[in-house]
């Protein structure tokens, strides 16, 4: 084992940063671990504001493997954190719809996903109508779903469990805003906070989410990560929640059960999706203009719905290719990235935590090879496009 008694500073204490701290201790790292978090209440954290779901239906093989790892982590949560541990994991597949023109492509994608360890199957429009009689299938040709390793959970409960376990193992959480990293001799030697404090370190992990680009801008790194606002609507409707999946429509609208009703959303048009740093105001206009018409078309019972509340959180979008950036900088070996997940950071936090901890303690990936998500593609401008984006 290497580097297990050195020091690590993790910038960002939400689900990704806390998972890294947790797995560092899990793998025997005995050195000092400091997690810098600007908002210890997590009120505006992407983790706390997310829709908190997990899927194996991705176009990038490494994402599928990360999801399978994460689903196993969620299923066995009591084995790690005790009998009282509960994140409310509902293991019920995503149902991703496609038109007649998408049949061959979607069936091929499902085959690839199965080869990577997912349990994904393709359904015809006729099978959809049989399984989900409340669904309008007239303009559909195919749908894919998974019989395991997909569903939703309580992200706040997950964060609380992991963060508490990290603290119990001696991880320090520091309230502060990381202003920039300090270099000397081609390596990170410290992290400077906005109050002037400098924390010395042997390793620096940038898990600052939507703020991660600003942390390294001062040392000349242009990280293609920025905040994009996503609004979630909590609704009630005359529709049964029993057996209702995480439904993704061809329009981009999504809906799933939550509590006594449902939560739903849709991404804004690309031309109207600016950097949303500091903007947490729900985009109420999306409901009337885009979301409600799409939902009512697909599920006629949703022509009648009542909005209970709405909130907005941030995706940390990697504008290069909508995939996470994980691993060391190519010229600064002790600066590690864990950011840019573009909406799948919560589901991939366990696999990211494990992978980054392996890099620091073992010098290489062991459980899952995350090297396809490395920084090199940012340097060369060579995207690894994730094609299944919501």
The string over 348-365, giving b where at least 16 C-beta atoms fall within 10 Å of a residue's C-beta and e elsewhere, is bbbbbbbbbbbbbbeeeb
At residue 269 the predicted structure's pLDDT band, cuts being 50, 70 and 90, is very high
Residue 1 has pLDDT above 80, yes or no: no
**74: nearest Cα among 62, 56, 57, 61:** 56
Tens digits of residue pLDDT in 344-384: 999 999 999 999 999 999 999 999 999 999 999 999 999 99
Overall fold of domain 8-53+155-224+320-380: FAD/NAD(P)-binding domain (3.50.50)
Position 385 scores a pLDDT of 95
Residue 117 has pLDDT above 90, yes or no: yes
At residue 2 the predicted structure's pLDDT band, cuts being 50, 70 and 90, is low
Position 3 scores a pLDDT of 65
- Element (DSSP H or E) covering residue 349: helix 349-362
What angle do the packed helices 349-362 and 15-26 form, to 10 degrees? 40
Output the CA–CA distances (angstroms, integers) from residue 301 to 133, 135, 240, 294, 296, in the order listed. 11, 9, 10, 12, 7
Tens digits of residue pLDDT in 197-221: 999 999 999 999 999 999 999 999 9
pTM: predicted TM-score of the whole model, two decimal places: 0.96
DSSP letter assigned to residue 289: I
| Distance (Å, whole) CA 297 – CA 95 | 16
**35: nearest Cα among 153, 162, 158:** 162
Q: Report the mean per-residue pLDDT for the chain.
A: 96
How far out from the chain centre does Cα 11 lie? 17
**CB 53 within 8 Å of CB 152:** yes
| Distance (Å, whole) CA 100 – CA 124 | 10
Backbone angles phi, psi at 144, to 5 degrees: -125, 145
Q: Where in the chain is the domain with CATH 3.50.50.60?
A: 8-53+155-224+320-380
User: Which CATH code, of 3.30.430.20, 3.10.20.740, 3.40.1130.10, 3.30.9.10, is assigned to 91-148+228-315?
Assistant: 3.30.9.10
Sheet holding 33-37, edge to edge: 172-175, 33-37, 8-11, 203-206, 335-339, 325-328
Q: Where in the chain is the domain with CATH 3.30.9.10?
A: 91-148+228-315
Tens digits of residue pLDDT in 292-318: 999 999 999 999 999 999 999 999 999
Backbone angles phi, psi at 191, to 5 degrees: -125, 125
**249, two tokens:** 């429509």
């Amino acid at each position: 084992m290497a580097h297990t008694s050195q020091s690590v500073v993790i910038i960002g204490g939400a689900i990704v940063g806390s998972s890294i701290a947790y797995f560092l201790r899990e793998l025997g790292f005995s050195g000092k671990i400091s997690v810098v978090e600007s908002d210890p209440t997590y009120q505006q954290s992407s983790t706390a504001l997310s829709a908190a779901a997990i899927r194996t239906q991705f176009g990038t093989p490494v994402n599928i493997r990360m999801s399978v790892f994460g689903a196993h982590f969620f299923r066995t949560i009591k084995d790690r954190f005790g009998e009282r541990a509960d994140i409310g994991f509902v293991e019920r597949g995503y149902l991703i719809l496609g038109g007649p023109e998408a049949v061959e492509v979607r069936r091929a994608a499902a085959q690839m996903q199965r080869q990577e360890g997912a349990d994904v199957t393709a359904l015809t429009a006729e099978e959809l109508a049989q399984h989900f009689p409340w669904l309008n299938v007239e303009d559909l040709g195919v749908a894919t779903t998974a019989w395991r390793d997909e569903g939703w959970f309580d992200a706040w409960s997950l964060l609380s469990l992991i963060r508490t376990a990290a603290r119990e193992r001696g991880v320090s959480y520091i309230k502060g805003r990381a202003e920039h990293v300090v270099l000397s001799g081609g390596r990170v030697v410290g992290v400077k906070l906005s109050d002037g404090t400098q924390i010395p370190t042997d390793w620096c992990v940038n898990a600052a989410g939507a703020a991660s680009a600003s942390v390294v801008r001062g040392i000349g790194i242009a990280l293609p990560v920025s905040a994009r606002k996503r609004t979630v609507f909590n609704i009630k409707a005359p529709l049964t929640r029993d057996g209702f999946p995480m439904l993704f429509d061809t329009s981009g609208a999504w809906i799933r059960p939550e509590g006594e009703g449902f939560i739903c959303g849709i991404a804004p048009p690309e031309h109207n999706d600016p950097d949303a740093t500091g903007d947490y105001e729900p985009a109420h206009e999306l409901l009337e203009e885009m979301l409600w018409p799409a939902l009512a078309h697909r599920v006629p019972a949703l022509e009648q719905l009542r909005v209970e509340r709405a909130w907005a959180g941030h995706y940390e979008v990697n504008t290069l290719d909508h995939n996470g950036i994980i691993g060391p900088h190519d010229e600064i070996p002790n600066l590690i990235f864990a950011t840019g997940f573009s909406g799948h950071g919560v589901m991939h936090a366990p696999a990211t935590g494990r992978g980054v901890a392996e890099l620091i303690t073992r010098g290489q990936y062991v459980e899952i090879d995350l090297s396809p998500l490395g920084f090199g593609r940012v340097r060369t401008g060579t995207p690894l496009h994730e094609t299944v984006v919501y």
